[in-house]
Structure 1
């Protein structure tokens, strides 16, 4: 889906996604000291705002102007702020070695484009900083619930870890289960989770 398509999806007054941060983002990052962060594919800003509430200085990057406006609104309502950056991540090139954290949550594009974003994220993080990716795992369509069904836009934790290995020490790379409540009951989604420390 292109930026116009996402703008249309986000256009309603309510949130498309929950206001709370992703469970794995919260679990992995809650103990980190605040610094400067970039949230790539930030959407409506639930993770960016959560970080900002914890003292982080956050750049929220997305190509949907509608989503970024919602992120700004959510931050203001919670008494904090995020800096929004409208950019197509396939062309994004952040500043080098300035962030303490780069977060990528549920970015799903063909693998060569995701790999480029992973490399850009790594170059934007300073030594000792954290890289975190959470996304729908390639095994999810067959064994999990929800998420994209196109295998061309899915990946595994191992693929992501291999892309980051030249730049970072891999701390965690695995498929994780995420409980999902829907109208027809409780399900289990399978996500890829990779956390790394920049060399």
Structure 2
């Protein structure tokens, strides 16, 4: 649990209950183990698609989904956004909170699965999900949670690694059928949404960190009209 949540400061007004993580304990344990295996898992720099796609946006309230070690959240806060960041790994959140403190920036840290985070509906001007590991369910709970968080006039930015959705189950147990991909979110968009970007493009990748071997992105940017 991070300082903001544990202390019960005003920064915790939109977070899950202060007594701990909210979500599947097995998912938390899996990601805690991944982060604990390395002193730093990611590059520490913001994702290229996020930087490119927010260049013309007026800073407002942003939800960073699966914030990891906090590079995107810190970058957004530094650029004037009011940031709420949600993550299942407590190990990652501790690192993220430390980076924000070192930079003198305020971020709301939410230790929860997206579908359990009890976020205020329709209240974020930007919902950013950069390569999220969102588990797929029959009721499309994660996809609907992404859409529900976006305020009227706001933007959903979902970026994923191209080609992963068509891979076969591998020896590590990764099965693409278990996860949410941009096409699944696009399928739920109705007349209340305008798709501004839906394409595959070369990835602008920060140097270093896990995932650097991926070369192309799937980028979905959709604006909620009402």
TM-score, normalised to structure 2, is 0.73
Matched, 1:191 2:220: no
Q: Which deviates more from structure 2 when the two are superposed, residues 2-11 or residues 128-137?
A: 2-11
**Counterpart among 124, 129, 132 of residue 104 in structure 1:** 129
Report the secondary structure of 2:215's partner residue.
strand
Q: Which position in structure 1 is the counterpart of 2:188?
A: 163
Q: Which position in structure 1 is the counterpart of 2:201?
A: 176
Structure of higher RCO (CA pairs closer than 8 Å, 6+ residues apart): 2
Mapping for residues 3-42 of structure 1, pairs under 5 Å: 3-11=28-36, 14-42=39-67
Q: Which position in structure 1 is the counterpart of 2:158?
A: 133
Q: Which deviates more from structure 2 when the two are superposed, residues 163-172 or residues 44-53?
A: 163-172
- Give the CA deviation at 1:64: 0.9
Report the secondary structure of 1:191's partner residue.
strand
Q: How many residues align?
A: 191
- Give the CA deviation at 1:107: 1.4
Report the secondary structure of 2:188's partner residue.
helix
Contact 2:136 2:142 in 1 (8 A): no
Contact 1:108 1:153 in 2 (8 A): no
Contact 2:199 2:219 in 1 (8 A): yes
Per the alignment, do residues 109 and 83 of structure 1 end up closer, same or farther by CA in structure 2, a change over 3 Å counting?
A: closer
Say which structure is richer in strand.
1
Gaps of at least 5 residues in structure 2 are 1-25, 168-172
Q: What CA RMSD, in Å, does the superposition of the two structures yield over aligned residues?
A: 2.7
TM-score, normalised to structure 1, is 0.82
- Give the CA deviation at 1:110: 4.2
